[in-house]
């Protein structure tokens, strides 16, 4: 599970912006002239691209630097896999556009070409032609009449599909409109453009995997996690497994190559972990994936760590198939103090959770948490990245072996360094006391909420006997994020947090509560196109919590809508009552998960998490537009270079090459291993 930045306050940037492709000085040039480098590297549409630092890398032993380097290369080799998973024709479209962009001979400052550059940047950022959050297909701002001749002139040689189909994919609004359609009552498989299924219906998918499931297996296999489900000409349904020699083999071969390099410099338990992952990639055997996860979650001593593989199922409308991602990191030992305190008290938190005692874990096992410095992002963690991760996802492994949680400190640091006061709080936060608390405690509140969400929230609770964890189907991700968020929110306002030295006062919780409710009920809608519903799981989760608490607390005016000077504001009037409501909702969401109550889960999401009031939505968008705020942020990666002496590697050098366009083109050249159609 992942945690994405929940507060938009911390994502608002006011630094000098260096738009690449313009005549402004690049960050690389600034570095060469010893000038301060901007945190915001590029901006386009609704997106800002930031850089992140990797403090402490230079102090790592050479063996650990090499391990980071090899794992970082492996993290970049799966990029094409994610593009293809997101949509069958993504690689075709991206490569055609890159051919045109790099070969174009006419005026590159002309409006049509500038619009093509913007469209290509959006595709790079989203890993495909659909928005990374809303899932809606991008609409080009250049014309088909201008574009079509360019395809024949610059891209025809490498084009894998008919030119007309390419143009239809880009320009026809009715064709593949949504990467992920989870609207209630539709066939989510046939109505979603993601490339996890082909030629099958939702009913056929559910029946196929229902036959494979062993309801009596105490260690259930995550069937379908690493495969595409298809139907052949005879009507037979089968899986194309993502493994060496199977689907995505060319990229997986490169991932294995760099993992083997990493294994050669890894020590002890970590070498066994990497070797187990390699074996999983070679065989595609999901029991091998479980073995790898068990080894990985048991390693709490290695300073360098990583995530690599088919991990999260947010992109599958049925919550079964996993997108490819990579993350390389090392421990921030100083910042780990707070997570150490949380994990040391994990049993207390579990024992006192406001849920049915039958659904509490009698013994919390293997809960480990770290604050990390990320060194490389890849796949579904790049360019947009989570700020917290909790793995593994299999409930039976979490119960028997525990889970590992991380909060990514240098990413949150980058957000906060780039975030300066640009009028957001004055525009959307009504009360001065709320603004003051957010200013003083906002980052601490965000960090602790992420820690609690990842360290304990996802790992808390247990399933009832006979429940396997897949019963909530398409609502699984939203409800799981809701559960973990509620856990963090509830405990952030507990006196225990003061007692164990994590917060100076409950004002920290008040800062988070006011921000969270405002975001869930209002400001996050800036991320959604007017007239659309909320589709992304994390956004649904926040809206569900805020709207449910508003409705249940309406009689006592716990949360209140206020109109002032023609503008809407949402304020929390009773923080103690709001915390009690968090506990009540957590009780119900845990019950839904533990018992597999699909209908109750469906109703909760559909009633509170999906629909947006169009009048409010329009107002939020207008107020955002006046401030010039982009609601989404992502990152460029640093580079690393091997330093050799007398034919031997003696060091690994950190290189900050901060140019979004250059990095995307370089990745497409150096780490593009798959055919355009797979």
Q: What is the rounded average pLDDT of the residues 219-240?
A: 96
Instruction: Provide mean pLDDT across the span 89-98.
Output: 98
- Of 30-34, 57-61, 282-286, 450-454, the range with the lowest mean pLDDT is 30-34
Closest CA to 407 of 383, 393, 419, 390: 390
Cis peptide before 149 (omega within 30 of 0): no
Whether pLDDT at 483 is above 80: yes
Q: What is the DSSP letter of 419?
A: B
- Whether 520 maps to a domain, the answer reads yes
Structural domain includes residue 95: no
Q: How far is CA 550 from CA 180, 299, 571, 583, in A?
A: 28, 42, 10, 14
Handedness of CA 426, 429, 430, 432 (dihedral sign): negative
pLDDT for res 128: 98
- Distance CA(557)–CA(481), nearest Å, equals 26
Whether the CB-CB separation of 573 and 430 falls below 8 Å is answered with no
Choose the weakest-confidence range: 115-129, 181-195, 407-421: 407-421
Segment (H or E) for 147: helix 144-150
Question: Range with the lowest mean pLDDT among 151-160, 411-420, 434-443, 521-530?
Answer: 411-420
CB burial of 234-257 (b: ≥16 within 10 Å; e: otherwise) equals eeeeebebbbbebbbbbbbebbbe
Residue 152 lies in a domain: no
Burial (CB count within 10 angstroms: exposed 0-12, middle 13-18, buried 19+), residue 645:
exposed
Q: Considering the domain boundaries, does residue 164 fall inside one?
A: no
CB under 8 Å to 23, separation ≥6 — which residues? none
Q: How confident is the model at residue 665 (pLDDT cuts 50, 70, 90)?
A: very high
49 three-state secondary structure: strand
Rounded Cα–Cα distance for residues 428 and 624 (Å): 10
In a domain, 144, yes or no: no
| Number of domains within the chain | 1
8 Å CB contact between 507 and 593 = no
Q: What is the pTM of this model?
A: 0.81
| Percent of the chain's residues with pLDDT above 90 | 79
Give CA angle at 25 (24, 30), nearest 5°.
160
**Position 145 in a domain:** no
Give the three-class secondary structure for 198.
strand
| Residue 15 domain boundaries | 1-87+130-137+176-671
The CB density around residue 661, as the number of other CB atoms within 10 Å, is 18
What is the average pLDDT value for the chain, to the nearest integer?
Answer: 92
Q: Which of residues 518 and 624 earns the better pLDDT score?
A: 518
Longest dimension (CA), the chain: 77
Q: Is 148 a member of any domain? A: no
For residue 102, being part of any structural domain is answered with no
d(CA 327, CA 460): 24
């Amino acid at each position: 599970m992942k945690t994405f930045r929940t507060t938009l306050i911390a994502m608002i940037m006011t630094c000098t912006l260096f738009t690449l492709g313009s005549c402004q000085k690049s960050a690389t040039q600034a570095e060469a002239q010893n000038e301060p480098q901007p945190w915001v590297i590029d901006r386009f549409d609704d997106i800002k691209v930031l850089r992140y630092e990797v403090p402490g890398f230079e102090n790592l032993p050479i063996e650990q630097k090499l391990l980071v380097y090899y794992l970082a290369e492996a993290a970049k080799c799966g990029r094409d896999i994610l593009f293809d998973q997101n949509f069958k024709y993504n690689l075709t479209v991206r490569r055609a556009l890159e051919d045109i962009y790099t070969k174009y001979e006419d005026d590159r400052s002309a409006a049509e070409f500038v619009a093509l550059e913007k469209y290509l940047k959006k595709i790079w950022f989203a890993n495909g032609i659909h928005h990374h959050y809303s899932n809606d297909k991008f609409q080009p701002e250049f014309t088909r009449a201008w574009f079509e001749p360019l395809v024949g002139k610059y891209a025809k040689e490498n084009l894998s599909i008919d030119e007309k189909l390419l143009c239809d994919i880009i320009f026809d609004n009715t064709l593949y409109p949504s990467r992920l359609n989870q609207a209630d009552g539709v066939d989510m498989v046939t109505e979603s453009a993601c490339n996890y299924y082909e030629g099958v219906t939702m009913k056929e998918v559910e029946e196929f995997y229902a036959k494979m499931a062993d309801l009596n297996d105490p260690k259930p296999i995550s069937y379908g996690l690493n495969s595409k489900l298809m139907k052949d000409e005879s009507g037979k349904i089968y899986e194309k497994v993502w493994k060496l020699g199977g689907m995505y083999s060319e990229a997986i071969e490169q991932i294995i190559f760099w993992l083997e390099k990493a294994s050669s410099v890894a020590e002890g338990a970590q070498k066994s972990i990497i070797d187990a992952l390699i074996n999983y990639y070679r065989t595609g055997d999901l029991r091998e994936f479980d073995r790898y996860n068990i080894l990985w979650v048991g390693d709490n001593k290695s300073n360098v760590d990583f995530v690599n593989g088919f991990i999260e199922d947010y992109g599958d409308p049925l919550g079964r198939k996993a997108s490819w991602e990579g993350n390389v990191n090392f421990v921030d030992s100083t910042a780990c103090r707070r997570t150490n305190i949380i994990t040391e008290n994990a049993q207390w938190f579990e024992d006192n959770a406001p849920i049915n005692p039958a659904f509490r874990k009698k013994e919390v096992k293997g809960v480990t948490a770290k604050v990390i410095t990320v060194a490389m992002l890849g796949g579904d963690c790049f360019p947009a990245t989570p700020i917290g991760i909790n793995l593994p996802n299999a409930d039976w492994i979490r119960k028997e072996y525990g889970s590992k949680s991380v909060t990514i400190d240098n990413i949150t640091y980058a957000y906060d360094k780039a975030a300066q006061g640009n009028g957001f709080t004055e525009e959307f936060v009504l009360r001065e006391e709320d603004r003051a608390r957010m200013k003083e405690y906002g980052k601490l509140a965000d960090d602790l909420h992420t820690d609690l969400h990842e360290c304990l929230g996802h790992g808390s609770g247990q399933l009832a006997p006979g429940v396997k964890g897949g019963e909530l189907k398409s609502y699984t991700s939203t409800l799981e994020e809701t559960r973990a968020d509620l856990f963090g929110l509830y405990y952030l306002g507990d006196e225990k947090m003061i007692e164990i030295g994590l917060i100076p006062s409950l004002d920290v919780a008040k800062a988070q509560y006011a921000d969270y409710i405002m975001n869930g009920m209002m400001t996050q809608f800036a991320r959604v196109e007017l007239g659309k519903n909320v589709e992304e799981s994390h956004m649904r989760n926040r809206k569900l919590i805020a709207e449910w608490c508003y409705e249940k607390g309406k009689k006592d005016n716990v949360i209140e809508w206020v109109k002032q000077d023609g503008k809407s504001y949402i304020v929390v009037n009773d923080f103690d009552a709001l915390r009690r409501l968090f506990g009540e909702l957590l009780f119900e969401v845990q019950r839904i998960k533990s018992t597999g109550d699909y209908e109750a889960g469906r109703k909760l999401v559909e009633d509170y998490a999906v629909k947006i009031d169009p009048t409010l939505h329009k107002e939020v968008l207008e107020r955002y537009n006046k401030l010039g705020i982009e609601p989404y942020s992502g990152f460029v990666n640093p580079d690393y270079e091997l330093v050799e002496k007398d034919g031997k590697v003696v060091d690994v050098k950190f290189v900050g090459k901060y140019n979004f366009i250059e990095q995307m083109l370089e990745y497409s050249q150096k780490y593009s291993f798959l055919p355009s159609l797979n």
